[in-house]
């Protein structure tokens, strides 16, 4: 079986980590050779991102981190693995570009997409799933979260509202799959699995 790359995306609090783990377990349970990964990937670069406040530096740190991860992704795909990635290049398009007006003036939409493609060796995902959630619900989830995010500078309601619009903007432009993230964990998981079964014509339960 050929390898696949499936990316789970959404604003902070949308449940990307939970749903990525559930999907990985689901694929493994159905005997599909799978691996779970996430971005940001490199611990050293994560620490630099935490401390940085300059958008252009953020952008290139995330791009560098992606190149490190995608050097692994490239090998996993050759091995026929199905990769579930908790975030990837869509986060850069939304968090680093769409959110920042200053960066938009320096780098246009086509260039930011090209930079992302270069950072990931032109490897394209087989499927991008966006968990669309009400930002106010996301904020409540983040406040109740036991294990806090490694990078919390984006966890503000005003930012989450703009990020949510950004995901829907790119979902329409790039044909990403949008799933209602306001539903229960199990309902969202079932909807994701059904999307994947339909997309790849899988004969699994």
The string of pLDDT tens digits covering residues 88-126 is 999 999 999 999 898 999 999 999 999 999 999 999 999
The answer to whether position 83 is within a domain reads: yes
The answer to whether position 27 is within a domain reads: yes
3-state secondary structure of 38: strand
Strand ranges (DSSP E) for the chain?
Answer: 4-9, 34-38, 82-86, 127-132, 177-180
**pLDDT at position 33:** 96
Its domain, for residue 193, covers: 4-200
The string of pLDDT tens digits covering residues 34-88 is 999 999 888 889 889 888 888 899 899 999 999 999 999 999 999 999 999 999 9
pTM exceeds 0.85: yes
CATH of the domain at 139: 3.40.50.300
Helix axes 185-200, 16-29, angle to 10 degrees: 50
Q: Which of residues 170 and 205 earns the better pLDDT score? A: 170
Q: How confident is the model at residue 149 (pLDDT cuts 50, 70, 90)?
A: low
Task: Calculate what percentage of the chain has a pLDDT beyond 70.
Answer: 94
**pLDDT at position 205:** 66
Count of structural domains, the chain:
1
């Amino acid at each position: 079986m050929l390898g696949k790359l499936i990316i789970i995306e959404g604003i902070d609090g949308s449940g990307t980590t939970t749903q990525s783990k559930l999907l990985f377990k689901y694929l493994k349970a159905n005997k599909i050779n799978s691996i779970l990964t996430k971005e940001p990937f490199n611990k050293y670069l994560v620490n630099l991102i935490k401390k940085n406040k300059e958008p252009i530096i953020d952008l290139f740190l995330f791009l560098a981190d992606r190149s490190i991860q995608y050097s692994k992704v490239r090998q996993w795909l050759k091995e026929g693995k199905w990769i579930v990635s908790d975030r990837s290049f869509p986060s850069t398009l939304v968090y680093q570009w769409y959110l920042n007006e200053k960066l938009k003036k320096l780098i246009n939409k086509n260039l930011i997409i090209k930079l992302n493609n270069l950072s990931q060796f032109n490897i394209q995902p087989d499927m991008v799933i966006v968990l669309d959630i009400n930002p106010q619900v996301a904020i409540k989830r983040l406040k109740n979260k036991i294990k806090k995010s490694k990078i919390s500078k984006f966890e503000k309601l005003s930012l989450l509202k703009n990020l949510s619009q950004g995901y829907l903007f790119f979902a329409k432009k790039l044909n990403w799959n949008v799933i209602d993230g306001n539903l229960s964990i199990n309902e969202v998981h079932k909807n994701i699995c059904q999307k994947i079964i339909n997309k790849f014509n899988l004969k699994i339960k």
